[in-house]
Structure 1
Amino acid sequence: MTALVRLLVAALLALFALPAQADELRPGYLELTQRDAQHWKVVWKAPVLGGLATRTRPAFPPFCTQSAPQARIEGAALVAESTLTCSKDLAGSKVGLAGMDAAFTDALLRVAPLGRPVQASRLTPTAAMVEVSTVPDRWEVARSYFWLGVEHILTGYDHLLFVIALVLLLLRPWTVVRAATAFTVAHSLTLIGTTLGLIGLAQAPVEALIALSIIFLAVEIVKQDPAHPRLSERLPWLVAFGFGLIHGFGFAGALREIGLPEGDVPVALLTFNLGVEAGQLLIIAAVIAALAVLKRFAQPALRTAVLAASYAIGITASFWFIQRLVG
């Protein structure tokens, strides 16, 4: 029994052994826009961190020639623009990224030919080249942005810790689900509003506030007293909704880094948000399952495990908060 307790506590703590940098979703973005029968404008945007910018490069068919790229740094990304000259139509040929097998992230490909619908595809290390279609798959945008949403919640470590802390605070599955629903509604509002240009906040203070929201939940867990429920326990949906508004600005910042396919903004927004929700539900289910096992087989160790995890969450979020304040 003691070994089981140690194993479960270690499993909970392992969830928080995360890199110092949060919000790690930084995919590449390769865009081809046809200018005339032979020429395409190529834009390649790759994050400096993670290896995509240094290890990969756009790849095209042999009958195409790429001009020398004009490169610049924008934020944490390398942006390179060039002209692609092709002796025949790209339809039926493959374009994508070379050297992606050594990268640790994925990329979006957008092909905008003259007189045909835009094609959007997701490039991964196992599928780094995509055939340019005569009739693009209309569901490809939905699939691509759905999986980007899932990846963002699972690898955007600050959002991940917030959801985990919410579960540790409330413990009861249906209470967690109601609070998570409020969180989803709230971040959907600010995500959509910001992406469409209706509202907006500077990203730096948003990232600091996201870290502060995690610290708040960690403190609430440590200070729990069954005889005197705190605000976060009495009105968890209200707290989750308020912080969800802030996290929505963070999601919007990540989506802005990725870019949205012109003409498919509503579909991309909807499916990205659905992906975030799906990833969030996976996190909630995993943490609730781990706590249920701990409660079933090692009830006395439950509070100890929750406290240990809460301190780990609080320390990590405090580091992020200070880091983001000082820039």
Structure 2
Amino acid sequence: MIRWLLAVMLALLAAPAAADELRPAVIELTERDGGVWVIEWKLPVAASRGANAAPLARPVFPEACTATGAPVQRAAALALLGRQELRCKGDLAGQRFGLSELVGGSDAIARMIPRSRPAQTFRLTADAPAAMIAAEPGRWQVVRDYLVIGAEHILFGWDHLLFVIALVLLVRRGWAVVKAATAFTLAHSITLVATSLGYAGLPSRPVEALIALSIVFLAVEVAVVLRSPERRTFTRRLPWAVAFAFGLVHGFGFAGALADVGMPQGEVVTALLAFNLGVEAGQLLIVGAVLALLAGLTRALPKAEVPVLRVSTYAIGAIGSFWLIERVIG
């Protein structure tokens, strides 16, 4: 158990500094006038092996389309951006577009935006790096894809992950954890919806810094409780209030990730709801896993419980502090 927990902590220490950023590969096919289409793509550095290297993945466009010129590519922050004009004949339904391949288990987002019909959004995977264009977009396709995207964001978005873990370590008690997690859910749902629909918004840099600060704050609270179990801090007395306050900030982070992915025209509410449900599913999985680990540790190695929790807390606090400094001055 101790070795397993230490392995988890080492993995957390190796987490990237840009922890909250969901950086999918994105490819978009947009119709212009007179049978002219434009295909644009964004390949993260991980997918393109750097801005100056030939990308592992290349855009795939429908067979009814031909390129009218050479592609234009440029480097951006941690991504390679590309654009190419196409001339397409007839209906594109039943034809494929996307990327030639996806490596490393990564996902991608593909969007097809015609002028006179609803847009279609697809989630591409390593097994299916290209999508089949449908005559009409399916609502269940949107639900499925955005549900997975939301779950992946919290499971692989290290800062949201560490916040939830630290919250469980602080509260520990089953019903109190449920109330705190519910408050966090309600809060980030409010700001996620408000931001995605254009009613609110904050610059990404202060949001990212505040998210890192929330991790440091909870880590300090857990360390205080471990040192003085009888001490009743405000957070320990009202964890749901603290979870709600920081949840509002984390919601802006979720909204930023969703903005990177984009939402399908005509299915904005469906995509937003599915993404949020995916986030909640991932969050419940994290809470259940941490509670199960804590229960197993308490029963199997009661003497090791406090040292393991202390090491875990210091690791979480150190990572959060690094992110905070990097996001403030980096």
Q: TM-score, normalised by structure 2?
A: 0.91
Equivalent AA in structure 2 for residue 139 of structure 1: W
Matched position secondary structure for 2:293: helix
Partner of 2:16: 20
Equivalent AA in structure 2 for residue 174 of structure 1: W
Q: Is the 8 A contact 2:107 2:124 kept in 1?
A: yes
Aligned residue runs from structure 1 range 1-327, under 5 A: 5-10=1-6, 12-14=8-10, 16-21=12-17, 22-35=19-32, 38-51=35-48, 54-66=55-67, 67-73=69-75, 75-100=77-102, 102-224=103-225, 225-327=228-330
Structure 1 gaps of 5+ residues are none
Q: Is the 8 A contact 2:118 2:266 kept in 1?
A: no
Out of 230-239 and 255-264, give the one that drifted further.
255-264
RMSD: 2.0
Matched position secondary structure for 1:126: coil
- Cα deviations by residue, 1:262-291 (Å, 9 ceiling, x for unpaired): 222111111111111111111111111111
**Cα separation, partners in 2 of 1:145 and 1:78, compared to 1, 3 Å:** same
Q: Using the TM superposition, give the Cα deviation of residue 9 of structure 1 relative to its aligned residue in structure 2, in angstroms.
A: 3.5
Separation of aligned partners in 2, 1:261 and 1:79: 21
Q: Is the 8 A contact 1:149 1:275 kept in 2?
A: yes
Percentage of identical aligned residues: 51
Separation of aligned partners in 1, 2:129 and 2:8: 35
Separation of aligned partners in 2, 1:15 and 1:176: 25
Matched position secondary structure for 1:16: helix
**Cα separation, partners in 2 of 1:9 and 1:91, compared to 1, 3 Å:** closer
Separation of aligned partners in 1, 2:39 and 2:186: 37
Matched position secondary structure for 1:55: coil
Q: Is the 8 A contact 1:158 1:211 kept in 2?
A: yes
Q: Using the TM superposition, give the Cα deviation of residue 104 of structure 1 relative to its aligned residue in structure 2, in angstroms.
A: 4.5
**Cα separation, partners in 2 of 1:209 and 1:59, compared to 1, 3 Å:** same
Q: Using the TM superposition, give the Cα deviation of residue 11 of structure 1 relative to its aligned residue in structure 2, in angstroms.
A: 5.2
**Cα separation, partners in 2 of 1:253 and 1:73, compared to 1, 3 Å:** farther
Separation of aligned partners in 2, 1:252 and 1:136: 23
Q: Using the TM superposition, give the Cα deviation of residue 94 of structure 1 relative to its aligned residue in structure 2, in angstroms.
A: 1.5
Equivalent AA in structure 1 for residue 71 of structure 2: P
Structure 2 gaps of 5+ residues are none
The size of the alignment, in residue pairs, is 322
Q: Is the 8 A contact 1:185 1:241 kept in 2?
A: yes
